[in-house]
Structure 1
Protein backbone atom coordinates (compact mmCIF):
# COMPACT_ATOMS: atom_id res chain seq x y z
CA UNK A 1 0.00 0.00 0.00
CA UNK A 2 1.45 3.38 -0.96
CA UNK A 3 1.94 6.21 1.54
CA UNK A 4 -0.84 8.48 0.26
CA UNK A 5 -3.37 5.64 0.54
CA UNK A 6 -2.20 4.82 4.08
CA UNK A 7 -2.37 8.51 5.08
CA UNK A 8 -5.86 8.90 3.65
CA UNK A 9 -7.03 5.78 5.51
CA UNK A 10 -5.54 7.02 8.80
CA UNK A 11 -7.05 10.49 8.38
CA UNK A 12 -10.41 8.92 7.57
CA UNK A 13 -10.25 6.89 10.78
CA UNK A 14 -9.12 9.93 12.75
CA UNK A 15 -12.10 12.12 11.77
CA UNK A 16 -14.71 10.49 14.06
CA UNK A 17 -12.21 10.28 16.90
CA UNK A 18 -11.41 14.00 16.64
CA UNK A 19 -15.10 14.75 16.41
CA UNK A 20 -15.95 12.74 19.53
CA UNK A 21 -12.98 13.82 21.64
CA UNK A 22 -12.53 17.46 20.60
CA UNK A 23 -15.26 18.85 18.35
CA UNK A 24 -18.38 17.46 20.06
CA UNK A 25 -17.48 18.92 23.48
CA UNK A 26 -16.78 22.28 21.83
CA UNK A 27 -20.09 22.20 19.94
CA UNK A 28 -21.91 21.43 23.17
CA UNK A 29 -20.37 24.48 24.82
CA UNK A 30 -21.17 26.65 21.80
CA UNK A 31 -24.79 25.61 21.25
CA UNK A 32 -26.07 27.91 23.95
CA UNK A 33 -24.27 30.85 22.34
CA UNK A 34 -23.83 30.38 18.58
CA UNK A 35 -24.40 27.76 15.91
CA UNK A 36 -21.53 25.70 14.48
CA UNK A 37 -21.83 27.64 11.19
CA UNK A 38 -21.63 30.96 13.03
CA UNK A 39 -18.57 29.67 14.89
CA UNK A 40 -16.97 28.59 11.61
CA UNK A 41 -17.62 32.02 10.05
CA UNK A 42 -16.22 33.81 13.11
CA UNK A 43 -13.14 31.57 13.04
CA UNK A 44 -12.64 32.38 9.35
CA UNK A 45 -12.84 36.11 10.07
CA UNK A 46 -10.48 35.75 13.03
CA UNK A 47 -7.96 33.88 10.89
CA UNK A 48 -8.30 35.73 7.57
CA UNK A 49 -9.35 39.18 8.72
CA UNK A 50 -12.04 41.11 6.89
CA UNK A 51 -13.66 39.28 3.99
CA UNK A 52 -16.21 40.08 1.33
CA UNK A 53 -19.55 38.29 1.52
CA UNK A 54 -18.57 36.25 -1.55
CA UNK A 55 -15.26 35.18 -0.02
CA UNK A 56 -16.91 34.30 3.30
CA UNK A 57 -19.64 32.35 1.48
CA UNK A 58 -17.02 30.39 -0.43
CA UNK A 59 -14.93 29.82 2.70
CA UNK A 60 -17.93 28.50 4.65
CA UNK A 61 -19.29 26.55 1.69
CA UNK A 62 -22.72 28.19 1.81
CA UNK A 63 -24.82 30.17 -0.66
CA UNK A 64 -24.69 33.95 -0.64
CA UNK A 65 -28.30 33.99 0.58
CA UNK A 66 -27.42 31.75 3.51
CA UNK A 67 -24.33 33.81 4.34
CA UNK A 68 -26.46 36.97 4.27
CA UNK A 69 -28.73 35.49 6.96
CA UNK A 70 -25.67 34.28 8.85
CA UNK A 71 -24.00 37.70 8.80
CA UNK A 72 -27.26 39.46 9.68
CA UNK A 73 -27.59 37.32 12.81
CA UNK A 74 -23.94 37.90 13.77
CA UNK A 75 -24.29 41.64 13.14
CA UNK A 76 -27.49 41.75 15.22
CA UNK A 77 -25.55 40.34 18.18
CA UNK A 78 -22.70 42.80 17.61
CA UNK A 79 -20.09 40.15 16.78
CA UNK A 80 -19.38 41.40 13.25
CA UNK A 81 -19.70 44.65 11.38
CA UNK A 82 -19.99 45.63 7.75
CA UNK A 83 -17.39 48.03 6.38
CA UNK A 84 -17.57 49.60 2.94
CA UNK A 85 -14.52 49.27 0.71
CA UNK A 86 -12.82 52.66 0.31
CA UNK A 87 -11.80 51.96 -3.30
CA UNK A 88 -15.08 50.38 -4.47
CA UNK A 89 -18.23 51.41 -2.61
CA UNK A 90 -20.09 48.42 -4.07
CA UNK A 91 -17.97 46.05 -1.98
CA UNK A 92 -18.77 45.46 1.66
CA UNK A 93 -16.27 43.79 3.96
CA UNK A 94 -17.39 41.69 6.90
CA UNK A 95 -15.10 42.10 9.92
CA UNK A 96 -15.10 41.01 13.52
CA UNK A 97 -16.18 43.90 15.72
CA UNK A 98 -14.16 44.78 18.80
CA UNK A 99 -16.84 42.94 20.80
CA UNK A 100 -16.55 39.96 18.41
CA UNK A 101 -12.77 39.90 18.84
CA UNK A 102 -13.16 39.91 22.62
CA UNK A 103 -15.79 37.16 22.50
CA UNK A 104 -13.62 35.01 20.23
CA UNK A 105 -10.68 35.47 22.60
CA UNK A 106 -12.88 34.36 25.53
CA UNK A 107 -14.22 31.43 23.54
CA UNK A 108 -10.73 30.37 22.51
CA UNK A 109 -9.56 30.48 26.14
CA UNK A 110 -12.56 28.43 27.30
CA UNK A 111 -12.17 25.84 24.53
CA UNK A 112 -8.41 25.56 25.16
CA UNK A 113 -9.03 25.07 28.89
CA UNK A 114 -11.46 22.27 28.09
CA UNK A 115 -9.01 20.59 25.74
CA UNK A 116 -6.20 20.98 28.28
CA UNK A 117 -8.34 19.28 30.91
CA UNK A 118 -9.13 16.50 28.48
CA UNK A 119 -5.43 16.04 27.66
CA UNK A 120 -4.44 15.92 31.33
CA UNK A 121 -4.70 12.12 31.34
CA UNK A 122 -1.66 11.98 29.03
CA UNK A 123 1.82 11.92 30.49
CA UNK A 124 4.19 14.82 29.81
CA UNK A 125 6.05 12.63 27.33
CA UNK A 126 2.83 11.73 25.52
CA UNK A 127 1.83 15.40 25.43
CA UNK A 128 5.20 16.36 23.91
CA UNK A 129 4.86 13.58 21.33
CA UNK A 130 1.33 14.74 20.47
CA UNK A 131 2.50 18.35 20.17
CA UNK A 132 5.31 17.38 17.80
CA UNK A 133 2.87 15.33 15.71
CA UNK A 134 0.32 18.14 15.60
CA UNK A 135 2.97 20.65 14.53
CA UNK A 136 3.96 18.31 11.70
CA UNK A 137 0.33 17.76 10.64
CA UNK A 138 -0.27 21.55 10.80
CA UNK A 139 2.67 22.21 8.45
CA UNK A 140 1.48 19.60 5.98
CA UNK A 141 -2.15 20.80 6.01
CA UNK A 142 -0.97 24.40 5.51
CA UNK A 143 1.09 23.25 2.52
CA UNK A 144 -1.93 21.45 1.07
CA UNK A 145 -4.07 24.53 1.64
CA UNK A 146 -1.48 26.84 0.07
CA UNK A 147 -0.84 24.70 -2.97
CA UNK A 148 -4.49 23.77 -3.50
CA UNK A 149 -6.12 20.46 -4.15
CA UNK A 150 -5.71 18.61 -7.44
CA UNK A 151 -8.84 18.33 -9.54
Structure 2
Protein backbone atom coordinates (compact mmCIF):
# COMPACT_ATOMS: atom_id res chain seq x y z
CA UNK A 1 0.00 0.00 0.00
CA UNK A 2 1.38 3.44 -0.84
CA UNK A 3 2.46 5.65 2.03
CA UNK A 4 -0.57 7.78 2.97
CA UNK A 5 -1.27 10.04 5.89
CA UNK A 6 -2.99 8.12 8.72
CA UNK A 7 -5.92 10.60 8.75
CA UNK A 8 -6.50 9.95 5.06
CA UNK A 9 -6.36 6.18 5.63
CA UNK A 10 -8.89 6.51 8.45
CA UNK A 11 -11.18 8.63 6.28
CA UNK A 12 -10.95 6.10 3.43
CA UNK A 13 -11.90 3.29 5.79
CA UNK A 14 -14.73 5.25 7.41
CA UNK A 15 -16.19 6.22 4.02
CA UNK A 16 -15.98 2.65 2.75
CA UNK A 17 -17.72 1.27 5.83
CA UNK A 18 -20.43 3.97 5.79
CA UNK A 19 -21.13 3.43 2.08
CA UNK A 20 -21.32 -0.34 2.57
CA UNK A 21 -23.70 0.00 5.52
CA UNK A 22 -25.99 2.41 3.66
CA UNK A 23 -25.92 0.27 0.52
CA UNK A 24 -26.76 -2.86 2.51
CA UNK A 25 -29.64 -1.16 4.34
CA UNK A 26 -31.11 0.38 1.19
CA UNK A 27 -30.72 -2.87 -0.75
CA UNK A 28 -32.83 -4.76 1.77
CA UNK A 29 -35.44 -2.03 2.23
CA UNK A 30 -37.82 -2.91 -0.53
CA UNK A 31 -41.21 -4.42 -1.11
CA UNK A 32 -39.90 -6.82 -3.73
CA UNK A 33 -39.28 -10.51 -3.16
CA UNK A 34 -36.51 -10.36 -5.78
CA UNK A 35 -33.06 -10.99 -4.32
CA UNK A 36 -30.53 -8.15 -4.67
CA UNK A 37 -28.38 -10.03 -7.20
CA UNK A 38 -31.45 -10.63 -9.37
CA UNK A 39 -32.55 -7.03 -9.02
CA UNK A 40 -29.12 -6.03 -10.35
CA UNK A 41 -29.84 -8.03 -13.51
CA UNK A 42 -33.20 -6.29 -13.94
CA UNK A 43 -31.58 -2.87 -13.56
CA UNK A 44 -28.90 -3.80 -16.08
CA UNK A 45 -31.59 -4.70 -18.61
CA UNK A 46 -33.51 -1.54 -17.79
CA UNK A 47 -30.43 0.66 -18.28
CA UNK A 48 -28.83 -1.07 -21.25
CA UNK A 49 -31.69 -2.83 -23.02
CA UNK A 50 -31.85 -6.48 -24.12
CA UNK A 51 -28.60 -8.39 -23.70
CA UNK A 52 -27.24 -11.90 -23.96
CA UNK A 53 -26.60 -13.85 -20.76
CA UNK A 54 -22.87 -13.51 -21.48
CA UNK A 55 -23.15 -9.72 -21.64
CA UNK A 56 -25.15 -9.68 -18.41
CA UNK A 57 -22.58 -11.94 -16.75
CA UNK A 58 -19.77 -9.60 -17.77
CA UNK A 59 -21.62 -6.60 -16.40
CA UNK A 60 -22.17 -8.27 -13.02
CA UNK A 61 -18.77 -10.04 -12.97
CA UNK A 62 -20.20 -13.53 -12.65
CA UNK A 63 -19.87 -16.65 -14.77
CA UNK A 64 -22.20 -17.19 -17.71
CA UNK A 65 -23.67 -20.38 -16.15
CA UNK A 66 -24.40 -18.42 -12.97
CA UNK A 67 -26.12 -15.68 -14.98
CA UNK A 68 -28.10 -18.30 -16.90
CA UNK A 69 -29.46 -19.57 -13.57
CA UNK A 70 -30.37 -15.99 -12.61
CA UNK A 71 -32.09 -15.41 -15.96
CA UNK A 72 -34.00 -18.69 -15.56
CA UNK A 73 -35.18 -17.60 -12.11
CA UNK A 74 -36.27 -14.19 -13.41
CA UNK A 75 -38.02 -15.80 -16.38
CA UNK A 76 -39.86 -18.21 -14.06
CA UNK A 77 -41.12 -15.16 -12.13
CA UNK A 78 -42.24 -13.52 -15.39
CA UNK A 79 -39.82 -10.60 -14.98
CA UNK A 80 -37.76 -11.23 -18.12
CA UNK A 81 -38.30 -13.00 -21.39
CA UNK A 82 -35.93 -14.73 -23.74
CA UNK A 83 -35.94 -13.72 -27.40
CA UNK A 84 -34.09 -15.10 -30.39
CA UNK A 85 -30.93 -13.15 -31.13
CA UNK A 86 -31.47 -11.29 -34.43
CA UNK A 87 -27.91 -11.87 -35.67
CA UNK A 88 -26.89 -15.19 -34.09
CA UNK A 89 -29.31 -18.09 -33.96
CA UNK A 90 -27.18 -19.82 -31.32
CA UNK A 91 -27.80 -17.06 -28.77
CA UNK A 92 -30.73 -15.50 -27.00
CA UNK A 93 -31.44 -12.00 -25.84
CA UNK A 94 -32.94 -11.34 -22.44
CA UNK A 95 -35.31 -8.42 -22.06
CA UNK A 96 -37.52 -7.01 -19.33
CA UNK A 97 -41.22 -7.71 -19.21
CA UNK A 98 -43.79 -5.26 -17.93
CA UNK A 99 -43.65 -7.20 -14.65
CA UNK A 100 -39.89 -6.63 -14.47
CA UNK A 101 -40.35 -2.91 -15.03
CA UNK A 102 -42.95 -2.83 -12.27
CA UNK A 103 -40.56 -4.55 -9.84
CA UNK A 104 -37.87 -1.99 -10.67
CA UNK A 105 -40.23 0.97 -10.21
CA UNK A 106 -41.65 -0.35 -6.94
CA UNK A 107 -38.26 -1.31 -5.52
CA UNK A 108 -36.68 2.04 -6.34
CA UNK A 109 -39.67 3.87 -4.87
CA UNK A 110 -39.45 1.79 -1.70
CA UNK A 111 -35.71 2.38 -1.34
CA UNK A 112 -36.06 6.10 -2.02
CA UNK A 113 -38.85 6.31 0.55
CA UNK A 114 -36.63 4.60 3.13
CA UNK A 115 -33.84 7.11 2.46
CA UNK A 116 -36.26 10.04 2.45
CA UNK A 117 -37.57 9.08 5.88
CA UNK A 118 -34.01 8.95 7.21
CA UNK A 119 -32.92 12.34 5.89
CA UNK A 120 -36.17 14.33 6.07
CA UNK A 121 -35.54 15.55 9.61
CA UNK A 122 -32.05 16.86 8.94
CA UNK A 123 -31.27 20.56 9.10
CA UNK A 124 -30.89 22.50 5.83
CA UNK A 125 -27.11 22.78 6.27
CA UNK A 126 -26.89 19.00 6.78
CA UNK A 127 -28.97 18.39 3.65
CA UNK A 128 -26.70 20.73 1.68
CA UNK A 129 -23.68 18.81 2.97
CA UNK A 130 -25.29 15.51 1.93
CA UNK A 131 -25.94 16.96 -1.55
CA UNK A 132 -22.24 17.83 -1.84
CA UNK A 133 -21.25 14.42 -0.47
CA UNK A 134 -23.54 12.61 -2.92
CA UNK A 135 -22.04 14.54 -5.84
CA UNK A 136 -18.51 13.88 -4.64
CA UNK A 137 -19.14 10.17 -4.00
CA UNK A 138 -20.62 9.84 -7.50
CA UNK A 139 -17.44 11.41 -8.87
CA UNK A 140 -15.24 9.06 -6.83
CA UNK A 141 -17.30 6.06 -7.96
CA UNK A 142 -16.94 6.96 -11.64
CA UNK A 143 -13.18 7.61 -11.45
CA UNK A 144 -10.97 5.00 -13.06
Give TM-score scaled by structure 2 length: 0.81
1:41 is aligned to 2:41: yes
Where does the alignment leave 5 or more consecutive residues of structure 1 unmatched?
145-151
Query: When the two structures are aligned, how many residues end up with a matched partner?
Result: 141
Matches within 5 A, 1:16-95: 16-20=17-21, 22-30=22-30, 33-95=33-95
Alpha-carbon shift at residue 118 of structure 1 (Å):
1.1
CA gap of 1:32–1:50, structure 2 versus 1, over 3 A, is closer
State the partner residue of 1:102.
102
- Contact 2:82-2:94 at 8 Å conserved across structures: yes
Moved more, 121-130 or 30-39: 30-39
Alpha-carbon shift at residue 9 of structure 1 (Å):
5.7
Greater share of helix residues, 1 or 2? Answer: 1
State the partner residue of 2:16.
15
Give TM-score scaled by structure 1 length: 0.78
Structure with the larger RCO, 1 or 2 (CA within 8 Å, 6+ apart): 2
Q: CA RMSD in A?
A: 2.5
